[in-house]
A and B are shown apart, each in its own frame.
Chain A
């Protein structure tokens, strides 16, 4: 089982969008505090983020992605279109 925790983007208490308040360097123990916005891509699910990574790795070739993922071309295009509309809705709420 992976020990990596999923980056939380939604407040479990009120459902609002979380912002980053502090960042920590594990190497030198430095902590930076402030108000940092979470990029819309980070608000995608792990699977969706992996899809975006695969999309970049394939230079945006959906045909190549479909072949690599063992899915049909329209299925891959539909996943991409769903991610695009999700990102658009996130960006509109910024």
Chain B
């Protein structure tokens, strides 16, 4: 159970980074195949972009918060922290985004989403039964989002040896900054 919410107690550094980069590449391929792109931090949009561009965006939205968290770690931690740990653990946390996005490309969810958009655009109130796949997917993605934040917080806490209110405030500040940057770009 501990490992489920804090895998970084057991994995960090180069090993986590290698796994994380595999997850990032898989995520980029998955998004590209579905015609999606991660256009800001924790936001997926539809776009016809090249695979390289989709991949580059994945790297940006992983690297930006990771470097900001590292900066916070340098300022707050009393330990001698390593950049590879924060890069590795935050990259590893991308696994949750992969698990969140993979079901989105299932035909049932995909078709249901398209039907829902078409129904809403035509001004008709959609039937609850017909919304089941998207409701189930929404619950799943909400759970994934919560776990994603928990993993990222633990990545920061373990890699930088920070805890308590200072760690929480720094983590929230980074999330807010990255979200604002995401809306500006």
Contacts and interface: CB of A to CB of B under 8 A. Distances in A.
Interface of A: 70-75, 77-78, 81, 85
Given A77-B161, A81-B161, A71 B10 contact: yes
- Main secondary structure, interface of B, reads loop
B99 to A, nearest CB: 21
Interface residues of B, number: 16
Contacts of B13: 72-74
A48 to B, nearest CB: 16
Nearest to B163: A78
22 contacts: A70-B10, A71-B9, A72-B9, A72-B11, A72-B12, A72-B13, A72-B85, A72-B158, A73-B12, A73-B82, A74-B8, A74-B12, A74-B13, A74-B159, A75-B8, A75-B9, A75-B10, A77-B79, A78-B79, A78-B158, A81-B79, A81-B161
A75 B157 CA distance: 10
Contact of B82 (A71, A74, A85): A74
Nearest to A80: B79
A75 B12 contact: yes
Contacts of A74: 8, 12-13, 81-82, 85, 158-159, 161
B163 to A, nearest CB: 9
